[in-house]
Structure 1
Amino acid sequence: MSNLVKHDSVHTSSKEALTAEFAKQSIIYTFSKRSLDIVGALVGLVLLSLILFIVALLIKFEDPKGPIFFSQKRIGKNGKEFKMYKFRSMVTDAEAKLEELLKFNEIEGAMFKMKDDPRVTKVGRFIRKTSIDELPQLFNVLKGDMSLVGPRPPLPREVEEYTPYHMQRLLVTPGCTGVWQASARNSVGFEEMVEMDLYYIENRSFLFDMKIIFKTVIVLFGSKNAF
């Protein structure tokens, strides 16, 4: 009996030690990830400032009455709502026209993607192809609503269709890029995207984040799946 108690005691101590080590690693990762987010976002905004300025001028030139930026409600970590910023790539009444286009959705599941979306402007088509329209999200990263790497933040109407399995995507801070964007982008369906996001959540680390960021940069210069 004494040996059994001793064995249980050792087992409990080992488990507590592993839990403490995991917590320590989690704190280190959280700190390093947030540091990477802040430094990366600031450096990105400085280096890309000229591009941001030129794109803003082009958007305003094409549609003088419309806004340069577009903000949209998204769902972040633990279901928290926030406003995500993008360069406006569509006509000003794009949301009102969405309902009549839902039947043309080219991706299965709780997302809407249409390759030849008639709401997209000429400038918008270019900045979407190059993902330049996503650059203002660096401000979301600085605010802490988003991270450089993580699952893409869904729309509220998309989350309404989520199953408990899909809801696991909301366990972490959403990102500007992730496994899906750095590899398959729009070439896979919703369920496959969820699988990629959950794989990231289970295996995330500082090195994994860096790998995704570098891979995203490469993809942006040769992607055929962005629309």
Structure 2
Amino acid sequence: MNLIDAVRTRHTVKAFEAGYSLPQASVDALLAALHFSPSSVNSQPSHFVVASTPEGRARMAKATQGAFAYNEPKVMNASHVIALCMRTDLDSGHLDTILQQEERDGRFQIDGAKNLQDKIRRSYVDMHRYELRDVPQWMEKQVYLGLGGLLLSAAVLGIDATPMEGFDSRALDLEFGLRERGLTSVVLAAFGRRSDQDFNAGLPKSRLSREQVFTFV
């Protein structure tokens, strides 16, 4: 599917076909899109919990109780559900780990490149920690960069998808022991094949006009 067709035809699925499993090649492609998603100064604050079994989805669905019960069937009936999470802080240990990985991957081709990269990244972290005081919000933005790429990738691959902010992040964090690992959940994304009960599939897409959305200079 070409890009324009993909973005015009994709929609947020309201009901998945229970029992359907995505081909592993499709799952691997989605995970690659997440793994290689961009982040500011390559800070990589994201972590992803992937539920691919009925048991895993049932655990994920514990966060869709009460006020979020309308999302429980989506979680239970999807093929795969991914919880996109973020770190609770960008500490020095994490920054050191990134730098070491970049060195192993051959990112530093000229003298001084490693120290410069480390200095620039830490300056951004310090700016968000001390001047802007918005490190959590900054990290959350990086997670949503990953979500955007993930949903676009699913559309191009012809995979039905649903992003969900309607869940209890505390319940999900506790279920998977995320907080003990310095992580917290941000948003869910479910993938599979839409069912006949997906009313949104038959509705026209609605966006503001190009004239309202774009300014050309």
TM-score normalised by the shorter chain: which range applies?
A: under 0.3
TM-score normalised by length of structure 2? 0.27
TM-score normalised by length of structure 1? 0.26
Larger RCO of the pair (alpha carbons < 8 Å, separation 6+): 2
Whose strand proportion is higher, 1 or 2?
A: 2
